Amino acid sequence: MTLPSEIDVAIIGAGAAGLAAARTLESTKLSVLVLEARDRIGGRGHTLLLPNDVVFDVGCEWLHSADRNSFVPIARELGLEINETRPRWREQSLNIGFPPEQRDAFLIAMDAFDTRVTDAAELADDTPARQWLEPDNRWNAAIETISTYINGVELDRVSTWDMDAYEDTGVNWRVRRGYGALIAAYGAPCPVALNTKVTLIDHSGARIRIETSRGTVSARQVIVTAPTNLIANQSIRFHPALPDKVAAAAGLPLGLADKVMLALDEPESLPSDGHFYGTTDRIGTGSYHLRPMGQPCISGFFGGAFARQLEDAGEGALAAQAIDELVALLGSEYRRKLKPIGESRWAHDPFALGSYSHALPGHADDRAILAAPVDDRLFFAGEATSPNFFSTAHGAQETGVRAAGEVVGVRIT
């Protein structure tokens, strides 16, 4: 696509938020263009089709809060099959490495911690969520590890207020052909300029000038949906500067969650849609989904500092760790049965530098600060601006609809 010199509305980023904004503005007479640095749409939603027809969602995978998730009706409208098999994250299949009585004790401790966080959210001052762990509790390391899956970081970097604000109905489904494929299908009608990296948004004049790697575009209004890390480190700059936005983005950094996909020989040896934790006695281990949706594979999920350590160790480190943990649980014969076929490396992705946002202690209010429009010309969307569904694709989608409504001066819910 050749970049036009002038448009009405420029949207920065073709993830779920940017695509939702563009789809919402279709019914207006405004000229719209999405500027995307990658060579594809979808942002942190991306599906790969691996050998043996294995579907691998490199980014978002689960339709969280599916009974309220905006992508569920979108998927059905597009004719994409939804798999309603619930995850077994609170289970340990085959009772290997985590006996039922220990698992019950862990779940009691985890639920008690969640209750303390909920109570602490009523306090006048925000606190680090780690403060509400019970001192010397046997299960603190496992609770911290769960935080690395949910928040992408350990509990010392998580705001209690923010953690409590997140809404989760407990209903989690999947798209059979991939969440990333759903987002790509949803965004297919959108006008998108790929391989177009935005470096400067100059809103000093009558029109907004956007400098990109492929030239300059002039717009009347701009919707910014870039990940917070790119605003905080000023990969995308504003002129005049917007220090409140940069500070708010810095208070909402992206944590890290990475996945690895392992092909499984003789898959009938393991239950479909089963689940394992690698270990429970340290912060940092894999959460393993056995034969997801019946596929001949195992997916491994790592978060927080441990995931970053594995990424920094280079390609293949995630898979090696996963295989070692699975062999320790399942037996040495599984070393020959498991073969790496895909992995994510979100911390090293230059257009994300992480997976999804969390609010640092004392920074829960930064979500509203980041979301607020500037002079009715600059608008902000993305999962980090969602008050209750942050860190999710449907939260991002809803903020894109909201920002599009702000552009035309209509509240859209």
Q: What would the pLDDT profile of 104-133 be if each residue is shown by its tens digit?
A: 999 999 999 999 999 999 999 999 999 999
128 domain residue, yes or no: yes
pLDDT at residue 297 tops 80 = yes
Task: Note whether 264 and 381 are same-domain residues.
Answer: no
Beta strands in 158-286 (DSSP E): 173-175, 192-193, 198-202, 208-212, 215-224, 237-239, 254-255, 257-264, 274-277
Q: What would the pLDDT profile of 161-171 be if each residue is shown by its tens digit?
A: 999 999 999 99
Supply φ then ψ for residue 343, to 5 degrees.
Answer: -155, 160
* Residue 135 pLDDT grade (very low, low, confident, very high; cuts 50, 70, 90): very high
Task: Note whether 166 and 281 are same-domain residues.
Answer: yes
Task: Note whether 266 and 282 are same-domain residues.
Answer: yes
38 domain residue, yes or no: yes
Q: What is the dihedral of CA 325, 328, 333, 339, to 10 degrees?
A: 0
* Residue 413 pLDDT grade (very low, low, confident, very high; cuts 50, 70, 90): low
Task: Note whether 190 and 249 are same-domain residues.
Answer: yes
Task: Note whether 273 and 241 are same-domain residues.
Answer: no
pLDDT recorded at residue 147: 98
Beta strands in 148-234 (DSSP E): 173-175, 192-193, 198-202, 208-212, 215-224
243 domain residue, yes or no: yes
1 domain residue, yes or no: no
331 domain residue, yes or no: yes
pLDDT at residue 369 tops 80 = yes
Mean pLDDT over each residue of the chain, to the nearest integer? 97
Q: What would the pLDDT profile of 336-346 be if each residue is shown by its tens digit?
A: 999 999 999 99
383: Cβ contacts below 8 Å, ≥ 6 apart: 16, 17, 356, 357, 389, 390, 391, 392, 393, 395, 396, 399
pLDDT at residue 406 tops 80 = yes
Task: Note whether 323 and 379 are same-domain residues.
Answer: no
Q: What would the pLDDT profile of 173-201 be if each residue is shown by its tens digit?
A: 999 999 999 999 999 999 999 999 999 99
68 domain residue, yes or no: no
pLDDT recorded at residue 189: 98
Residue range of the domain that includes 281? 87-170+257-353
**CATH number for the domain that contains residue 113:** 3.90.660.10
pLDDT at residue 289 tops 60 = yes
Task: Note whether 246 and 267 are same-domain residues.
Answer: no
pLDDT recorded at residue 263: 98
- Structural domains counted in the chain: 2
pLDDT recorded at residue 96: 86
Q: What would the pLDDT profile of 302-361 be if each residue is shown by its tens digit?
A: 999 999 999 999 999 999 999 999 999 999 999 999 999 999 999 999 999 999 999 999
pLDDT at residue 30 tops 60 = yes
Task: Note whether 263 and 332 are same-domain residues.
Answer: yes
Task: Note whether 263 and 340 are same-domain residues.
Answer: yes
pLDDT recorded at residue 410: 67
Task: Note whether 119 and 263 are same-domain residues.
Answer: yes
pLDDT recorded at residue 313: 98
Task: Note whether 342 and 266 are same-domain residues.
Answer: yes
pLDDT recorded at residue 180: 98
- Domain-ending residue, one of 306, 327, 353: 353
